[in-house]
Structure 1
């Protein structure tokens, strides 16, 4: 039976984390993020198999049926596998994603029509404001995007800075070595000439917290963490490993 842990990582922003020990060499966390407000927002749904555990964790903060927005970084099972289960559980909820993601996938996949967002468009939740930012192919997926919660300066950055294992919910330690290790193991990032510049543009937001989907979320020098990640991606682009 899965057990989803919940921790508040910024004011009104909760990390819901499920550790799966048989993924990768040392296990892997699958994290969702709940913004508690007049119009609660969920970033990542988890896979369908995690719905019961994640929704139970959500209910310790807000009733699941009060969710207003279902969001995620890109179309992938761990990001949005339980999307339609949450739409059914929360009758007034809607999926909100970038216009491209809606056109390519979500208009067909979502049980209710999704809300397409323009790059830079803001959703007002009450005390919190989330800005949609298109990041094509960063970390992967044509329709990839992040959300920036402007009040707490929390960047909901999805698969960026992925780490193996099960660390603390929030850390101020350097996670770049762990992120590089995870990239070496999984090779999951789509590294193109636009990858490092895109990540550097996110660093310009000067975030106070990085809400990371796999591994510990980050506080402290978040700008430095993003710049270091951009440097690592640039290094990988310029020095690709040989094909086997």
Structure 2
């Protein structure tokens, strides 16, 4: 395996590791996003065993010890498995996550105390501004959240829009159909009464770039894509409820 580096925006780097046997037959990408600034931020620490690959990629862009912020969407191996390796490699770095995630997992598992972010709180890294947004149970657990980089219009949407395969770093093609296919294959979303509305709430940000953890990032009308994905989850929920009533 190797880490592919692509600059997908001004000072925005996608660091992608493709694992052919992770989701056969197409394989799976694990994407990490590095934002340059006065206080650089890495979103998705990645798996612990991938740390040598991803940290070597960061080192090709900037010294690893320059990192100041480490973010991720929820507590899971591919999101934050290597967080302590990053904290050791970057002495000034601090994890930043939502209150629930910090209280139930991160504060205990991390070697340094994290920065606890409230819903809507902004981190200014010098040249870029990250707004943290709570998205409970979207896509997975109670601790889930996303970050929106306001200056580039980049939504760091984690597992939303998950797609298998190893496509280009960035695409302008429709990603909804493939995302729906992935959902039907992996059933990775915690489906509930607020799933659709939580996804549609993100559409109000009108993101220009959807930085996805698995699959190509999407450049274009992010609001339309998010509304369509939210509507699809409503359809799934209504079908599940109808199935329970008829059982």
Smaller-chain TM-score bracket: over 0.9
In structure 2, distance between residues paired with 1:191 and 1:171: 27
Contact 1:162 1:213 (8 Å CA) reproduced: yes
Q: Is 1:92 aligned to residue 92 of structure 2?
A: yes
1:1-16 counterparts in 2 under 5 A? 2-16=1-15
3-state SS in 1 of match to 2:61: coil
Q: Deviations over 1:92-115 (max 9, x none)?
A: 001010011111111100000111
Give the structure 2 partner of residue 44 of structure 1: 44
1:74-223 counterparts in 2 under 5 A? 74-223=74-223
Instruction: Could you tell me which runs of 5 or more consecutive residues in structure 1 were left unpaired when the two chains were aligned.
Output: none
In structure 1, distance between residues paired with 2:185 and 2:3: 25
Instruction: Could you tell me which runs of 5 or more consecutive residues in structure 2 were left unpaired when the two chains were aligned.
Output: none
In structure 2, distance between residues paired with 1:195 and 1:203: 13
Contact 1:64 1:90 (8 Å CA) reproduced: yes
> CA offset at residue 240 of structure 1?
2.7
Give the structure 2 partner of residue 226 of structure 1: 226
In structure 2, distance between residues paired with 1:175 and 1:232: 13
Alignment TM-score, normalising by the size of structure 1? 0.97
Give the structure 2 partner of residue 20 of structure 1: 19
Contact 1:172 1:221 (8 Å CA) reproduced: no
> CA offset at residue 191 of structure 1?
1.1
Q: How many residues align?
A: 242
Q: Whose helix fraction is larger, Structure 1's or Structure 2's? A: 2
Root-mean-square deviation (Å) = 1.2
